[in-house]
C-alpha cells in the first residue's frame, strides 16, 4: 500500500520491461543483421563488424525522490517461443554457435564491448567479471545461453535449443531511478550469407522489496554507486 511519508509504494514490488520479437536476414552489403523494431545492429568495435543485434529498454524505478532502496529477490526473463538461426551456407561448419545475453544493469553498458569480449576466445568474459570495467554490484541480473540447431529436427532446421546456460547476476540492492535491460543476440558462422535470425517477444521480471534504509547505509550506497560510475 502507499506510504504517505514516502509518497511511493514500499514493500513487495515487481518491475517489468517488455521487449519485442526480432526477425532479420543477414545483409551482404553491411555484413550485419538489420535493425528491427526496438532491436539495433551491434555497433562497430574498432572498425570491426560483429554480426548480431541488441535491444535496450529501461525501467523507471523512481526511488531517489523518497530515498528508497530496491532489494532484489528474484529476477528472470520470460521468452516463450522459438529462437531461429538458419544454418551456415558451409556444410558442417564447426564454427557455428549462437550466444544470447540477457542483462539488467544499474548503468548504461557498452554493448559493443560486451560482444567483442564474448566472441574473443582470448578474453572470454562477461560484464561484472574479472577483466571488465563493470562491477558485480552494477549487474543486477546476467545470463548467457549457448544455443545450437536442434538435432531432433531435419538437418536444415533453423530451430535452436540451449546447450549451456550460465549466470553472472550480482543481485545487489540499488537506489538508482533507472535500470537498463539488455538483450544481445550473437550468431556465429564462417559464412552468414542468407542467414535468418529470429527471437520471440520477451519480458524481464524483477521482483523484490522496496524499503527505506537508515541514512548512513543509504548515503554509503549512493556514494559507492557514483564512484563505480566514475570508474567506468
Q: Identify the bridge partners of residue 54 per DSSP, sorted by sequence position.
A: 40, 184
For 188, the grid coordinates are 556465429
Residue 117 in contact with residue 123, Cβ under 8 Å?
Answer: yes
Using CA atoms, how far apart are residues 1 and 10, in angstroms rounded to an integer?
7
Using CA atoms, how far apart are residues 220 and 232, in angstroms rounded to an integer?
19
Per-residue pLDDT of the chain (232 residues; tens, 9 = 90+): 333 434 457 899 999 999 999 999 999 999 999 999 999 999 999 899 999 999 999 999 888 888 889 999 999 999 999 999 988 778 777 778 899 999 999 999 999 999 998 877 667 889 999 888 888 999 999 999 999 887 776 555 688 989 999 999 999 999 888 999 999 999 998 999 999 999 999 999 999 999 988 877 777 777 666 666 655 5
Q: What is the pLDDT of residue 2?
A: 38
For 187, the grid coordinates are 550468431
The per-residue pLDDT for range 112-170, each reduced to its tens digit, is: 999 998 877 667 889 999 888 888 999 999 999 999 887 776 555 688 989 999 999 99
The full set of domain ranges for the chain reads 14-231
Predicted model pTM: 0.89
Using CA atoms, how far apart are residues 66 and 68, in angstroms rounded to an integer?
6
Amino acid at each position: 500500500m502507499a506510504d504517505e511519508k514516502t509518497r511511493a509504494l514500499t514493500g513487495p514490488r515487481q518491475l517489468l520491461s517488455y521487449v519485442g520479437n526480432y526477425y532479420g536476414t543477414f545483409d551482404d552489403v553491411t555484413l550485419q543483421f538489420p535493425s528491427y523494431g526496438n532491436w539495433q545492429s551491434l555497433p562497430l568495435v574498432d572498425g570491426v563488424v560483429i554480426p548480431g543485434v541488441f535491444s535496450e529498454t529501461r525501467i523507471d524505478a523512481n526511488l531517489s525522490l523518497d530515498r528508497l532502496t530496491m532489494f532484489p529477490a528474484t529476477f528472470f526473463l520470460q521468452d516463450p517461443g522459438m529462437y531461429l538461426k538458419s544454418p551456415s551456407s558451409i556444410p558442417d561448419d564447426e564454427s557455428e554457435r549462437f550466444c544470447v545475453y540477457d542483462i539488467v544493469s544499474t548503468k548504461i553498458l557498452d554493448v559493443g564491448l560486451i560482444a567483442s569480449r564474448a566472441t574473443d576466445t582470448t578474453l572470454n568474459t562477461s560484464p561484472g567479471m574479472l577483466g571488465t570495467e563493470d562491477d558485480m554490484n552494477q549487474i543486477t541480473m546476467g545470463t548467457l545461453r549457448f544455443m545450437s540447431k536442434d538435432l531432433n529436427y531435419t538437418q536444415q532446421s533453423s530451430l535452436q535449443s540451449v546447450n549451456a546456460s550460465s549466470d553472472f547476476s550480482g543481485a545487489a540492492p540499488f537506489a538508482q531511478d533507472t535500470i537498463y535491460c539488455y538483450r544481445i543476440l550473437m550468431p556465429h558462422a564462417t559464412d552468414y550469407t542468407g542467414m535468418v535470425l529470429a527471437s520471440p517477444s520477451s519480458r524481464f521480471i524483477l521482483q523484490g522489496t522496496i524499503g527505506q534504509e537508515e541514512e548512513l547505509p543509504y548515503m554509503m550506497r549512493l556514494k559507492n554507486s557514483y564512484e563505480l560510475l566514475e570508474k567506468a
